[in-house]
Amino acid sequence: MHQISSDSAGMVANLTATNQWSFPTTSSLSYKESNVDNETMASWNGVSRLIFLSGTATVGTMGSIFAITAIAVIDPLQVRGNIYLVSLALANLLVTGLVLPASCIAILASIPHDQGICAFQWLVMEVCFLVSVLTFMFIAMENFVGLGSVISYDFCCTRNRIVTTVSTIWSTAVAFSVGQQITGFGPSLCDSSAPVWLPYHAVCGLLLVMMPILISSSYFVRAIFKLKAFKLQMEALEDPTAYVLTDEAVLKSNIVVFILMLMMWIPTVVVSVVGSIHPVGQKLIDVTWWISLSNSCLYSYVYAATNKDFREAFNKLFYYFCCKSHVSFSRKSRDVRRNGADGRGLRVHIIPGLNIYAQRKDPAKDPLRSFQLKKGSSEL
């Protein structure tokens, strides 16, 4: 009898479980509906993030391309020292062209926290940061030397030396970043457990970050005071362009962009260093990460906002790409010239169909015009 009652209790339990599985209660329905709502909300958040990242990558990439194009086609910007600005634009172009699209791929693949993608993004960001810091050091030095005699400038800032310096900067940044990834040394925002050897990282940080920043700041400050002192003596000189080779507007733009870079990168550097010693919240890491990314999207437009030559080039190029119509760059001369620039607005025809300025035809080389002239003279 006891066995029968126990079997009946088991059957009741099984039936109850079957009924509960076949006909969910109201609480289970609401739980599933909430899951569906959460998944829908997450999908919409993913779509909004994807649109935002795509737009940001497009705007940032366009700004870097415009900056390189402006240096290539505007005569006042076609000076050997601005090769450093092209190097800076290429470094930031890596971020907007690789890091942001990688985030879009992670969203589409539903792997927003994939370690492989994060490691790749951190590698590119590290290369961009090192190239930017080292490049600004040589930009500051070049701008300062440009406030001296032509002989001293031509001696230390030849084209071959500048190209060699840029190649060394990129080689150093890429080799150090790849070496960090291969050895697994920190600091890294992707892996908080990465080993940190304090003497090694202290030396690397001093040589690759702290010293370039201090040297850049020192030469920029010295350049400002030297330019102010030179303005007081400019009226007494017969040819000021023989002594001042640094464009004052470009110097000010370089200083503003340098300060902006430090403000946007220092939080990420501090968080990465502190994170290798003590755990840091993920929200703080994400905020500093996106602040550093914003620098690569904004720096080119800061040049356009603070420099007339960049601003005019950006406006013309933006008008051309958006409206697909012919634009013309006005011829301009500048007070301070380098390398014997003749002061024309544009010299290189970069974009097909871009009417840089109208060319007057020689009547002797135009058969139709020559025929009309001969006909008119015969009629007279």
| DSSP per-residue letters across 346-377 | B----STT---SPPPPPGGG-HHHHHHHHHHH
Q: How far apart are CA 308 and CA 319, in angstroms?
A: 16
> What is the C-alpha separation between 62 and 44, in angstroms, rounded?
27
How much is the pLDDT for 257?
96
Q: Which two tokens stand for residue 302?
A: 């800061």
CATH pick for 48-326 out of 2.30.110.10, 3.30.360.10, 1.20.1070.10, 3.20.10.10: 1.20.1070.10
Query: Which tens digit of pLDDT belongs to each residue from 74-114?
Result: 888 888 899 999 999 999 999 999 998 988 888 888 777 78
In the numeric block, the tokens 């040394």 are attached to 185
CB 363 within 8 A of CB 371: no
- Position 240 confidence tier, pLDDT thresholds 50, 70, 90: low
pLDDT digits (tens, 9 = 90+) for 175-205: 999 988 888 777 777 776 777 777 888 888 8
Q: Tens digits of per-residue pLDDT, 220-235?
A: 999 999 888 877 776 6
- End-to-end, the C-alpha distance of the chain in Å comes to 138
Specify the pLDDT at position 198. Answer: 78
Is 90 exceeded by the pLDDT of residue 53?
Answer: no
pLDDT at 271: 86
pLDDT value for 243: 55
Proportion of the chain above pLDDT 70, given as a percent: 69
Strand partners, 346: 74
Do residues 260 and 177 lie in contact, with contact meaning Cβ atoms separated by under 8 Å?
Answer: no
Contact 194/186 with Cβ under 8 angstroms? Answer: yes
Please report, to the nearest 10 degrees, the dihedral formed by the alpha carbons of residues 85, 87, 88, 94 taken in order: 150
pLDDT band at 20 (very low <50, low <70, confident <90, very high): very low
What angle separates helix 248-275 from helix 115-145, to the nearest 10 degrees? 140
Q: pLDDT at residue 365 above 50? A: no
Nearest by Cα to 348 from 89, 106, 68, 149: 68
Domain boundaries, the chain: 48-326
Q: Which residues are registered as beta bridge partners of 74?
A: 346
243: nearest Cα among 139, 144, 147, 341: 147
Q: Check residue 76 and give its pLDDT.
A: 84
Query: How far, in Å, CA of 13 to CA of 1, rounded?
Result: 18
SS3 278: coil
